[in-house]
Structure 1
Amino acid sequence: MVKEYLEDKKLMKSIITKYACDLGKIWENSHMENFKLTIIDKNNKRSIDFNKLKKEFKSTYDLQFMHDLKGIYMLFKDGDLFIVGNSRDNVFKRLKNDFKKDEGFKQLLESSNVKLTVIRMHDMDNIHNARLEAVVTDIYTKLFKAKLAQEYELKI
């Protein structure tokens, strides 16, 4: 029984090591950039200036077509992580739809300090993409909890 456990443990270690190497390679081929979203008043409603964002995406990532921007995105409101998401098709289109249809995203428009981080991923392997999104979410969740603990002198 112990021998079988050790063999399984070795197998798990090799799987985890390979997984870490695969994620490392995907990360090396990624391109992460930060953007400050411009909020405008349009027909007495606050909205993101998507024309400006589109131009910034195209110039930053040297894109010819917006559908070439695939990857993970993070939205921050007043410095705090609001949401982590990913798009295998088109980050720009996904954001535009989310701001149009999702009431939660409209909360972001209440602030004048909305930032976006986009990690452009060229290799959109669905399994690794979802796992990298989970890793990013986990890291930022821990940072957020640590910030709250520091602000309110909590022990976590």
Structure 2
Amino acid sequence: MVKEYLEDKKLMKSIIAKYACDLGRIWEKSHMEDFKLTIINKNNSRSIDFKKLRNDLKSAYDIQRAHQLKGIYMLFKDGDLFIVGNSRENIFKQLKTDFRKDEGFAQLLESNDVRLTVIRMHDMDSIHNARLEAVITDIYTKLFKAKLAEQYELKI
């Protein structure tokens, strides 16, 4: 059954067109902001200044509580994409948890240039949210590969 649908080019074209329209509508309603994360020394180790980040998020998105912020976030280290994440609940809490529990995030704290881009999603449809996250990841992956290819004179 699925094979027949996939082979039906008209049907697939209409599904792809609807998908693009849905993502376009979601993108139109989104709100993107960039933040430079402040790294502080706390208890003889480096950490993100989460108090400042909370205030920055509340101010940029005109919200009363940081937990009202949901959507997609991207972390950059020295200008290069480190991770793309998707939070349907609370981006601020997700970041705090990741920085405290995920050892991979410690790499970010080695840099003095850590940036965060947040795309606030107003229509939180988890399927479209995940698709938009995949599109963003795909775009940055292609940009990163192109940058590497240029740097090392490779053909991709």
Q: TM-score, normalised by structure 1?
A: 0.95
Instruction: Evaluate the alpha carbon distance shift between residue 43 and residue 134 of structure 1 in structure 2; reply closer, same or farther with a 3 A threshold.
Output: same
Q: Following TM superposition, by how much is the alpha carbon of 1:67 offset from its aligned partner in structure 2, in angstroms?
A: 2.0
Secondary structure at the aligned position of 2:40 is classed as strand
Which residue number in structure 2 is paired with residue 23 of structure 1?
23
| Distance in structure 1 (CA, Å) of the matches to 2:51 and 2:140 | 29
Which residue number in structure 2 is paired with residue 71 of structure 1?
71
Letter in 1 for 2:77: K
Letter in 1 for 2:27: W
Which residue number in structure 1 is paired with residue 112 of structure 2?
112
Q: Is the 8 A contact 2:74 2:85 kept in 1?
A: yes
Please give the residue correspondences for 1:31-46 in structure 2 after superposition, counting only pairs within 5 Å: 31-46=31-46
Instruction: Evaluate the alpha carbon distance shift between residue 5 and residue 115 of structure 1 in structure 2; reply closer, same or farther with a 3 A threshold.
Output: closer
Which residue number in structure 2 is paired with residue 48 of structure 1?
48
Which residue number in structure 2 is paired with residue 58 of structure 1?
58
Secondary structure at the aligned position of 1:53 is classed as helix
Could you tell me which runs of 5 or more consecutive residues in structure 2 were left unpaired when the two chains were aligned.
none
2:111 aligned with 1:131, yes or no? no
Secondary structure at the aligned position of 1:96 is classed as helix
Which residue number in structure 2 is paired with residue 98 of structure 1?
98
Question: What per-residue deviation string (whole Å, max 9, x for no partner) do you get for residues 42-98 of structure 1?
Answer: 010100000000010000000112221000000011111100001000000000000
| Distance in structure 1 (CA, Å) of the matches to 2:89 and 2:32 | 17
Percent of counterpart pairs with the same letter? 81
Question: What per-residue deviation string (whole Å, max 9, x for no partner) do you get for residues 86-138 of structure 1?
Answer: 10000000000000000000110001111110000011101000000000000
Q: Is the 8 A contact 2:5 2:11 kept in 1?
A: no
Q: Following TM superposition, by how much is the alpha carbon of 1:17 offset from its aligned partner in structure 2, in angstroms?
A: 0.3
Q: Following TM superposition, by how much is the alpha carbon of 1:150 offset from its aligned partner in structure 2, in angstroms?
A: 1.1
Q: Tell me how large the CA RMSD over aligned residues is.
A: 1.4
Which residue number in structure 1 is paired with residue 8 of structure 2?
8
Runs of 4+ aligned residues of structure 1 deviating over 3 Å after TM superposition are 4-7
